[in-house]
Structure 1
């Protein structure tokens, strides 16, 4: 896991719910750093640097496309 790269940072756990589903559909290797801590104590978001989406280097381009499509979709956005 030390070779995984941070692709995006989120402030709250609800922002990653749909993204998790999309990543699992594509069978992308990922994990969200600080996710558990944000579920326990959401006010620590700024102190911990948010929830960081980390992916394997081979999957970076695919994840960036998923994020771009998700942000450009008029019906569904990561806020």
Structure 2
């Protein structure tokens, strides 16, 4: 069984802003961030790596704020 997945969820502006605020607060206070995506609760550790990615395809632009971390051994 593969643990690979690639999900995307669309939020309202208000919901998205609230999630970004919670994330920013966690980053500033160097605390873990927890979010639920498609029914799965994810805990992003305080030492996660952050990057910003920009993609351009034809007349479409995309900006992604990414967090990357290693899963804890189960």
- TM normalised by structure 2 equals 0.31
Pick the structure with greater CA Rg. 2
Larger helix share, 1 or 2: 1
Identify which of structures 1 and 2 has the higher relative contact order when contacts are C-alpha pairs closer than 8 Å and 6+ apart.
1
Structure with higher strand content? 2
